[in-house]
Amino acid sequence: MTTPLLLEVRHVSRHQSLAGGKSVEILRDINLDIREHEVVAVLGPSGCGKSTLLRTIIGLEEPSAGEILYRGRVQKGLNPSAALVFQNFALFPWLTVHQNIALGLLNLPLEDAVREGRVRGVIDMVGLEGFEEAYPKELSGGMKQRVGLARALAMEPEILCMDEPFSALDVLTSETLRNEVIDLYTRNRSDRKSTRLNSSHVALSRMPSS
């Protein structure tokens, strides 16, 4: 049986305006299907448009041409069912681990107990127990990226986008976190329907659904 489509990228192009009225083409006629229970890796050299494609997929940027459909409907603006893990951690230094993770949930219509339960759950999921009140400056690079991952997972997205999240880490830490993400997916410890990994050096094959 064919796995249901989550997201369809149809003939998407993206141009960036430059000074002097010029523009540069970043994406050209991109077509892509993302299904439930699927891991997709986007490969390419630095500057080829991988990050732009991810930002367009989740709705941070609009395509110059073409369209993106989420569950059969044309996507307009941010997709609340998608989350992004950034390459550079993107943590607020004045907030604790707990506060950084909870930040993305503040605008959701959740009861306080539900919101707290989500935060506690992802803290346990990514191995941050005992660091809830720590600040980013007190964490290693690997721990900071765990916070970024936990913040994305707390949103309970159907599509988890990862913009080279481990490339700034040392080889051992990068490999450890990559394996942990795969473990979360294959052991069904997460409700994520699809994982999208943007990487210039790592390709993941499709994972079996449970």
User: pLDDT digit string (tens) for 25-36?
Assistant: 999 999 999 888
pLDDT of residue 101: 94
Distance CA 28, CA 56 (A): 13
- pLDDT category, 174, cuts 50, 70, 90? confident
Please check whether residue 100 is in contact with residue 91, taking contact to mean a CB–CB distance below 8 angstroms. yes
Single-letter code of the amino acid located at 185: Y
Give every strand in the sheet of 159-163, ordered side by side: 38-42, 194-198, 159-163, 82-85
Single-letter code of the amino acid located at 55: R
- pLDDT category, 203, cuts 50, 70, 90? very low
pLDDT at 128 exceeding the cut of 80: yes
pLDDT tens digits, one per residue of 70-83 = 998 999 888 888 88
DSSP-derived 3-state class of residue 181: helix
pLDDT at 193 exceeding the cut of 60: no
In the chain, pLDDT over 70 holds for what percent of residues?
A: 86
Distance CA 22, CA 17 (A): 6
User: What is the average per-residue pLDDT within 12-20?
Assistant: 87
Tell me the whole-structure pTM to 2 decimals. 0.77
User: What is the average per-residue pLDDT within 188-200?
Assistant: 50
More confident residue, 204 or 5: 5
pLDDT at 191 exceeding the cut of 70: no
Task: Please calculate the CA angle 100-112-142 and round it to the nearest 5 degrees.
Answer: 25
